Chain A
Amino acid sequence: MTITLWLEQAMQDADRRGLPALRPLLEALARATSALRIADWNADATGQRESDVASGFPGLSAVEGSRTSERE
């Protein structure tokens, strides 16, 4: 599941359960999940790194920027 789709469905579910306050937390979690998915230790079944595969999450570029600044 792409992070964009995951986030959309999670927010809908949170709204349905009467928890709209979860929305910003889920957005933050989506950014963290994006960072996790592009980490360079990941590999996919082709033998390539998953970071070479687009995640499809619009917030990813911002996450990548912050990761780059923290990367040692």
Chain B
Amino acid sequence: MNDQPQTIAALGRALAARETTAQQATEQCLQAIATRSASLNAFTRVLADAALEAARRADAEIAAGRRRGLLHGVPISLKDVIDMRGVATTAASRVREDHVAAADATSVGRLREAGAVIVGKTNLHEFAFGTTSEESAFGPARHPLDPTRSPGGSSGGSAASVLAGMAYGSIGTDTGGSIRIPAAACGLVGFKPTLGVLPTDGVVPLSTTMDHLGPICRSVEDAQLLFDVLRGAPPAAPIPRDARRMRLALLGPYFMALLDAGVADAFEGACGRLRSAGVELVEASIPHAGDIVPIYLHIGLSEAAAYHAATLDRCPDAYTPNVRLRLEMGRYILAEDYVRALRGRDVLTAEVDAALTGVDALLLPSLAIPAPKIGVETVRIGGADEPVRNVMLRLTQLFNITGHPSLTIPCGLTAEKLPVGAQIVGRRGDDAELLSLASALEPHLGPGASR
């Protein structure tokens, strides 16, 4: 993408000004895929012919004065849990190797209506049930900055595709952090809107009451643009915000207790820059933060098991071994404990609402560790070995339980030059407000960390 604009918005404007063409942009993305697909394994399927055809059609429509908006002619990738008519939705699993989608997911229909060019389906952690994108029928997705590392997950191929210039944005899903985790690991923006705001029909479920759809991209402006298209409503009028008048609540102590030192340093630096910009930072806590993991496990495992039970009996060996075992766990949860977890969800939701009282948004790191090495099961933090999966979910899963909108923005680098993300959480239903806040904070969170 060297001689092309870097963001969706910039490319959209360049296409409108006839400074480039959709075909050129698409060819450049397909070239990046051809060059790096073997090393990154970001895609389960590349749709080169269909993409080029869509790009040429977009160019013709723009030339004829029928431009549909900033997404018209822009190459986008789709996580391979989202249905695209006539194409397999594999969920990166052998379980679905014979599947062909009969119809577009509503989200895909909206992308097509906006004129997006879909370049392919991206690799993921099998059935979106993991944070590293390692356990996949297609092999592990790899990090563009260091292919010995994971790009995060479960939407790992989506983030890798954007960072590597294979697409300008990607549509992922997030049940415990699967948009925000890979976006943070790859130095990108990832947005999980309020639960239920974006349609999840035509999307392979993981946990039906915690699944979210959302964009991974290079800027908050791009996230806003994709969000508007996906929700199928006219673009919300921008709400100008001034960082000097903002008040954010720094969440602690649970959310700061288990951080990699490099992540902690980068996040602290970002907080310092926000203070220098005039943002007021106050402290807040979630009284029952210690119950997040049990609540998340009992809801998530039960709902995943309900979807997979019949297939686990019919073709258990078609799953990757660890994903199969985690799905089997959920089959043993008692109904009374699932109901207890639902009660716990109400408690946590009220506590996040309370933490938002009197402030514009909550602020915390997005991912407690930088992108982990592939194959590593534990990481050492604070003198103890912690499971990679638990640590990666720790800062994001709360907002899947409660449904609050949450967005990660790059906020710096570790000493090893690995990206670190800051997470901003808004009020339920106030997605446009959160995006406006994020847009005002983005220039201060840097320094130049946005890729």
Contact = CB atoms under 8 A, between A and B. Distances in A.
Instruction: Give the one of A6, A26, A37, A39 with max B CB within 10 A.
Output: A39
A21 B253 CA distance: 35
Contacts of A35: 290-291, 293-294
Nearest to A13: B332
Given A10-B332, A21-B325, A41 B343 contact: yes
Contacts of B289: 70-72
Given A32-B294, A32-B297, A26 B340 contact: no
Given A1-B334, A39-B288, A72-B253, A33 B294 contact: yes
B332 A41 contact: no
A9 to B, nearest CB: 9
B308 to A, nearest CB: 14
A33 to B, nearest CB: 5
Interface string B239-254: 0000000000000111
A53 interface: no
B340 A29 contact: no
Contacts of A6: 332, 334
B24 interface: no
A22 B328 contact: yes
Contact of B337 (A19, A36, A72): A36
A3 B252 CA distance: 31
Interface residue SS majority, chain B: helix
B294 A41 contact: no
B325 A29 contact: no
Nearest to A30: B332
A36 B300 CA distance: 14
Contact of B297 (A13, A14, A21, A29): A29
Interface in A49-67: 67
B111 interface: no
Contacts of B344: 36, 39, 41
A14 B297 CA distance: 19
Interface residue SS majority, chain A: helix
Contact of A42 (B301, B332, B343): B343
B341 interface: yes
Interface residues of B, number: 31
Interface string B325-358: 1101100111001001101100100000000000
Contacts of B291: 35-36, 39, 67
Contacts of B337: 33, 36-37
B359 to A, nearest CB: 17
B332 A29 contact: yes
Contacts of B325: 19, 21-22, 25
B295 A70 contact: no
B326 A36 contact: no
B257 interface: yes
B340 A42 contact: yes
A68 B290 CA distance: 8
Contacts of B321: 21
Contacts of B326: 25
Contacts of A32: 293-294, 297-298
Interface in B314-329: 321, 325-326, 328-329
B147 interface: no
Given A36-B291, A42-B343, A72 B298 contact: no
A56 to B, nearest CB: 14
Contacts of B286: 72
Contacts of A29: 297, 301, 329, 332-333
Interface string B289-311: 11101110110010000000000
Interface of A: 1, 6, 10, 13-14, 19, 21-22, 25-26, 29, 32-33, 35-37, 39, 41-42, 67-68, 70-72
19 contacts: A10-B332, A19-B325, A22-B325, A25-B328, A25-B329, A26-B329, A29-B301, A32-B293, A33-B294, A33-B333, A36-B295, A36-B298, A36-B344, A39-B288, A41-B343, A41-B347, A71-B290, A72-B254, A72-B287
Given A39-B291, A72-B254, 10 more contacts: A13-B332, A25-B326, A33-B333, A41-B344, A42-B343, A70-B254, A71-B288, A71-B289, A71-B290, A72-B287
Interface of B: 252-254, 257, 285-291, 293-295, 297-298, 301, 321, 325-326, 328-329, 332-334, 337, 340-341, 343-344, 347
